[in-house]
Amino acid sequence: MSNQLMILLAVLLFPGGVFALVLGLALKGADRRVAARLQSRVGPPLLQPFFDIIKLGFKRTLVPEVASETVFLYAPLIGVISMVLAAALVPITAVYTPAPAIGNLLVLLYLLMIPGVVLMIAGSASGSPYGAIGFSREMAMMIAYEGPLVLIAAAVAIRTGVGMGGTVSFSLSDIIAYQQTHGSFLLDPVMWPALAAFCFFYPANIGIVPFDIPEAETEVLEGPLLEYSGPTLALFKIMSALKKVVVLNLGIALFLPFAPENWLLALVVWLVKMLVLMLVGVTALRVAIGRMRIDQAFIFFLKWPLLLAVASLAVVVVV
Amino acid sequence: MNFLTLFARNLRTGPQTEAFPLGPAFTPEKLRGRIVFNAENCEGCRICERVCPAGAIKFAKSPDGMTFDCWHNTCVFCGNCEFYCPTDAIHQTNDWNLAHVQADKFAMVEHGLIPNMKCSDCGATALNTAPMVKNVKPPLSEAELGEVRSRCPKCRAKYLKNRKVPS
Amino acid sequence: MGLIPNFKTLATRSPWLYRINAGSCNGCDVEMAVTALIPRYDVERLGCQYCGSPKHADIVLISGPLTVRVKDAVLRLYEEIPDPKVTVAVGVCPISGGIFRESYAVLAPIDQYIPIDVNVPGCPPRPQAIIAGVAKAIEIWRERL
């Protein structure tokens, strides 16, 4: 019973739910502020994403006549729920370990796919032609970047499993425990191709400028989000904030989980790692590079990250 | 890697943003902004009404004299009126802050009145315009200007014709 | 009970802007783009953000004198913006017709068709004037929330 209560608390409060939401929105604010600074602007206040969410709560929701109303309104809710669950799956070193029943890499891979699927559903349910374009682009992007992610996960799992004397270990707690004793995969040359592939993957999954082709506001008017307004749009913003936390935390768990023993220090170190990953991998990238075309991005992902991921899997299996 | 140097420079030098609206805005001296009209200098030639491309300037006869109205919501700040005005009665200021709420829409008017007067010579009713004396040689003295101004157009012509040129 | 007004004050710090071009000559649109994009006039400082979809908008910037051909599209677009919204007419064209005033192809002033809340005259207005207009619009928007 208490075990279930712990899982519920994990989902609703600490690593998932409220904590992840606040952290995700704060990261977004930091991202916007630093991006403005890099463009020599002042930028919005740090709490701007919170203001945006509150503002959207006051607006009306409009449902287009041609939309399928139920799907249109509930799709973002599915996305938010999946991301709240996913946030509770990923461990934070020395701070939080998920219950063994849920802390599994494979479950996480499935949950990570849901926001993309939700965007596709939302885009097609809205009945807007821009939504349909967003749908097809999102699908192409998912095909392009989910492949490398699975291969990266497999490489990490095999490396851990073999290192611990078994074959494959998809348990996130095991992955972290292995790295705590044998050093992070960041310092392991065998894992470097996988790390490089992940560095390409996470900006794409978060959906920022070079890879945000499905939601490009200048081309397809934010694609699937075009018809959303008010609270439903806020749900999408919440979903993407949670997704940031999940994806960055996944990167930390897979490649750089080193942390001190003290849980408070560990939490601080973890937050610093999140911020660095966000600012270097996302902010600098989106300020520096313009948006790719869908065909460029598709070919890019099928070329470099996939190649790197396959290479890492091969190296891991051979070594 | 050019963008990295740019990033470093931007991080070092800080934002280039103007303080406005949280502080004062930079306004160039010669910015073409709101029109001001000085009825004292107007000679009533109505060239400004004629050259105004947007038709923002309207002169109208009223019982008190001739009114001048420039509606800022039609004015395109081209500066033609100031350029063509023979007596510098119209000026463009560098005031650009004209944003207003809808309730004030029709209050955004530069209003002026050239009043009627009685001619000091013949007693006829005439507009108290500034005299057209730019090309009069030798130039009129202050006292003579006052004399000219207090007369109706016909008496002005007579006055200038009969004016004794001091040698 | 006391929380709702607080939330409303916070909400007014996030006005999203949307531009409608009602047959403008593009002068005002260039100024609006400048207001949004170049570091010198950073509107993001006020929490503003230009959005691509009318359904995300809070403050609508309308430029242009509402030509006959574009009228239906503009009215439809305006209807698609969810309440509460505030309309700002940018440039003299939507306010009075400006230079196009007596043309047969133009239906200016635009406030015959769309309720306008703030006017920013100018041909085109300075970026600072547009920012001042947006600041006025935010005040009106706070009352409507």
Dihedral Cα A38, A39, A41, A44, nearest 10 deg: -70
How far away is chain C from the Cα of B101, in angstroms, using its nearest Cα? 4
Could you tell me if B127 and B92 lie in one domain? no
Q: Are residues B73 and B100 in the same domain?
A: yes
- Does B100 lie in the same domain as B48? yes
User: Is the per-residue pLDDT at A190 higher than 80?
Assistant: no
**B14 domain residue, yes or no:** no
pLDDT computed for residue A310 by the predictor = 83
**Strand-strand pairing, C118-120 and B57-62:** unpaired
pLDDT above 70 covers what percent of chain B? Answer: 98
With a cut of 60, say whether residue C122 has pLDDT above it.
yes
- Is the confidence at residue C2, as pLDDT, over 70? no
> Interface pTM (ipTM) of the complex?
0.83
Residue A225 is predicted with a pLDDT of 83
- From A80, A13, A75, A71, select the one nearest A53 (Cα to Cα): A80
**Full domain range(s) for residue B72:** 29-115
User: How confident is the model at residue C13, as a pLDDT?
Assistant: 83
Nearest CA in chain C to B19: C41
Q: Min CA distance, C45 vs chain B (Å)?
A: 9
Residues B27-74 pLDDT 10s: 888 888 888 888 888 888 888 888 988 888 888 888 888 888 888 888
Measured CA to CA in angstroms, residue A76 lies from A38, A61, B114 at distances of 32, 13, 67
Q: Which residues pair with A92 in a beta bridge?
A: A96
For chain A positions 23-42, those within 8 Å of chain C (CB to CB) are 32, 36, 39-42
The per-residue pLDDT for B167 is: 55
Contacts B20 to C, Cβ<8 Å: 41, 128, 131-132
Q: Quickly state the pLDDT bin for A101 (edges 50, 70, 90).
A: low
The count of structural domains within chain B is 2
Task: Verify that B136 and B157 share a domain, yes or no.
Answer: yes
* A196/chain C closest Cα distance in angstroms: 33
Sign of CA dihedral C125, C126, C128, C131: positive
User: In terms of domains, do B154 and B98 share one?
Assistant: no
Using a CB–CB cutoff of 8 Å, tell me whether C13 touches chain A: yes
Q: What is the pLDDT of residues A204-262, one digit of tens each?
A: 888 777 777 777 776 777 778 888 888 888 888 888 888 888 888 888 888 887 777 77
Task: Report CB contact under 8 Å: B73, C96.
Answer: yes
Is B100 a member of any domain? yes
Range with the poorest average pLDDT among A97-101, A114-118, B21-25, C95-99? A97-101
Q: Is residue B147 part of a domain?
A: yes
Residues 6+ away with beta carbon under 8 Å from B93: B33, B34, B35, B36
For range A105-134, the mean pLDDT: 85
- Is residue A141 predicted with pLDDT exceeding 80? yes
Same domain, B97 and B123: no
Find the distance separating the first CA and the last CA of chain A, reported in whole Å. 43
Write out residues 205-224 of A within 8 Å (CB-CB) of C: 217-218, 221-222
pLDDT the model gives residue B119:
85
By the CB < 8 Å criterion, does B3 face chain A? yes
Q: What is the pLDDT of residue A258?
A: 76
Establish if C6 touches chain A: CB-CB under 8 angstroms: no
Q: Are residues B40 and B93 in the same domain?
A: yes
Residue-level pLDDT at A160 = 80
Q: Are residues B81 and B125 in the same domain?
A: no
What CATH number has the domain bearing residue B72? 3.30.70.3270
Of A42, A44, A54, the CB nearest to C11: A54
Would the pLDDT of A36 be above 80? yes
Confidence at residue A94, expressed as pLDDT on a 0 to 100 scale: 67
- Res. B166 pLDDT band, cuts 50 70 90: low
Contacts of C122 in chain B (CB under 8 A): 77, 96, 98
Tell me the average pLDDT of chain A: 82
User: Which of A83-92, A163-172, B76-85, C59-68 has the least mean pLDDT?
Assistant: A163-172
d(CA A137, CA A188): 35
Per-residue confidence (pLDDT) for residue B99, from 0 to 100: 86
Domain membership of residue B42 (yes or no) is yes
First to last CA, chain B: 81
Mean pLDDT of all residues in chain B? 84
What type of residue is C47?
G
* CA–CA dist A259, A270 (Å, integer): 8
Question: In angstroms, rounded to a whole number, what is the distance separating the alpha carbons of residues A308 and A197?
Answer: 6
Is residue C32 predicted with pLDDT exceeding 60?
A: yes
pLDDT tens-place string over residues A256-272:
877 777 778 888 888 88
Q: pLDDT (tens digit, 9 = 90+) per residue, B111-133?
A: 888 888 888 888 888 888 888 77
pLDDT higher than threshold 60 for residue A35: yes
Q: Is residue B10 part of a domain?
A: no
Q: What domains lie within chain C, and their CATH numbers?
A: 16-144 (3.40.50.12280)
